[in-house]
Amino acid sequence: MDFNLTEEQLMIQQAARDFAETELLPGVIERDRDQKFPHDQVKKMVQMGFLGMMVDPKYGGAGMDAVSYVLAIEEIAKVDASAAVIMSVNNSLVCAGIEKFASEEQKQKYLVPLAQGDVLGAFALSEPEAGSDATSQKTTAEDKGDYYLLNGTKNWITNGGNATYYVVIAQTHPEKGHKGINAFIVEREWEGFDIGPKEEKLGIRGSDTHSLLFTDVKVPKENRIGEDGFGFRFAMAVLNGGRIGIASQALGIAAGAYERALAYAKVRKSFGTEIINHQAVAFKLADMHTSIMAARMLVYKAAAEKDEGKDISESGAMAKLFASQVAMDTTVEAVQIHGGYGYVKEYHVERMMRDAKITQIYEGTSEIQKIVISRSIAKR
């Protein structure tokens, strides 16, 4: 197995690192405090091609591989997890699904502006009573002949207030269960489509999260993705790829917290020496470093398998499960190493600890990842 990155991948990694340090780090504490969406920073991410990294250039994307994508997400999440999830949703959940499953007409109309970064996208699956149990969709899309009538509520929608196009999952044939679900591309300005207030969140506060409300929204028949009843399979396929993005975000949060804890431990003195010389602290850092390296191998492996066209349902689930736990464990220990300073915003690690928690919840909870992994094991 070749663990070496290509010259191009290293360049992308360095470009993302430089961008995070120069463009995202200034103001990241204030954006978190004020729940301020990073509009200016997202515009610069567009200029770097980060909003459609894996999309074919013929549709306006950068045409990069999945490994390059996770490298960029990791570097951005080291500094600003909110910016990382904005990027991840547009790439993994919106662009990837449209490129793989949508019609050519849908790609030209919607994928091109999404990949070019002219607009942002959002993915609307979760509902008040259908989170982990995605088969229990209450949002309905009633077939009216040449259009569908969309009614219902979606919640926890990342990019919900700033997106222009939304991939919405809804039930058309309730009697068919998950085989009666469809996926649609919905435009923000359509009559009957309303966006709820911004959620007040524990972490990733620079990313906007909203409920979406649909009241007799007319969705043209040509905006359905795939054949009738394909929606659930579409959603599961998209989430498989999306988990790599969230695993990369978790990895970046962990790595960023570790780097700050290590730097602090080398300068902070107690009992006459730098605290890194105390075994209690040194062993924490050793455990953090080892866990991060293990998570990185899982994440990179899943990305490499995606590039090879392999089924990544198991490898993506393992990467997300493990990396999200490492993010939680590492950020908690980073706060501990900083002591009282870790509890204040100035030193960043308290924000990273708050940001880490969501990686165990969205795009499939840790419990769901264990179901995916165990089912995969049982099939062998």
Q: Which residues are catalytic?
A: 363
Q: β-strand 147-158 against 209-220: which pairing, if any?
A: antiparallel
Question: How many other C-beta atoms are found inside a 10 Å radius of the C-beta of residue 84?
Answer: 31
Sign of the CA dihedral 229, 230, 236, 242? negative
Tokens of 333: 């220990």
* Residue type at position 185: I
Tokens of 48: 């770097």
Q: 158: which strand partners?
A: 209
Tokens of 190: 């359509």
Q: 344: which strand partners?
A: none
Q: Are the C-beta atoms of 243 and 174 separated by less than 8 Å? A: no
- Residues 6 or more apart in contact with residue 3 via CB below 8 angstroms: none
Q: β-strand 165-171 against 181-187: which pairing, if any?
A: antiparallel
- Residues 6 or more apart in contact with residue 283 via CB below 8 angstroms: none
Give the HSE-up count for residue 195: Cα atoms under 13 Å, Cβ half-sphere: 22
- Per the rule left: phi > 0, alpha: psi between -120 and 50, beta: everything else, 227 is beta
- Per the document, the length of the chain is 380
Q: Which of 125, 70, 364 is nearest to 245 (CA)?
A: 70
Say how far apart CA 52 and CA 62 lie, in whole Å: 6
Give residue for tokens 């790599």: 244
